[in-house]
Structures are given as structure tokens and as C-alpha cells.
Amino acid sequence: MSITTQSARPIYVVTILTGSFLLFLVQPLMGRIVLPVLGGSPNVWNIAMLFYQGVLLAGYLYAHGLQRLPVRQQLAIHLALFGIAALLLPIGMAAWYPSAGEGDPAL
């Protein structure tokens, strides 16, 4: 039994909305984590916004480029990226970054 495009549409909509919600949930969370370390300047929030908008654009480019590959290759690439992301968790400030006022918050 195959799923038609019309019946699969709600699944796609829910998936996209969930991904967007999670992305925009993590953005202020990371901003709150780095704000005390980097200082409370507006530059910190501006850089956070710029970073996440860039990541969102990169995600769209990733999805656009990936759709041209066969489904098995898409799955392999997704699983590899999930594995890399799991190795990089937990999310937090890098221990090597200097304290507030000593470095450029844009990094």
C-alpha cells in the first residue's frame, strides 16, 4: 500500500512545523545560556539571531540538495548527521572561550 501525495501532506506539514518550533525553541535557550558568559550586550542577541537564521538557511539548502538523491542515500546521510550531532551533545558554552569582556562575542 502506498501513500499518495495528498494523504501524506498533513504528515509533511506537521514535520515542518515541529522542526521549526524546535529550532526557534533552542534559539532563545542558547541565547540565555551564553548571555551571562558573554555579557548582556545587544550584540549577543544579534549574533544569536544571525547564527540561527544562517543555520535555517543552510537547512533549507541541505533539504533542497538532498531531494535529488535516492531515498537510501538520503537516509544514510541523515543517519550520519544524527550520529555526528549525538556525539557533539550536550549543548553549552565551550570551555576554551574567554570570560565576558575578554573576547569578541561574535565568535
In this predicted structure, what is the pLDDT of residue 76? 93
Number of other residues whose CB lies within 10 A of the CB of residue 38: 25
Q: Quick check: 50 pLDDT over 50?
A: yes
pTM of the model: 0.59
Domain boundaries, the chain: 5-88
Integer angstrom CA distances of residue 44 from 11, 20, 103: 36, 22, 12
Alpha-carbon Rg for the chain in angstroms: 18
Q: According to DSSP H, which parts of the chain are helical? A: 5-38, 42-66, 71-88
Q: Quick check: 24 pLDDT over 60?
A: yes
Determine the Cα–Cα distance for residues 105 and 40; give it in Å rounded to an integer. Answer: 10
Which tens digits make up the pLDDT trace of 74-100?
889 989 988 998 887 766 566 666 666
3-state secondary structure of 41: coil
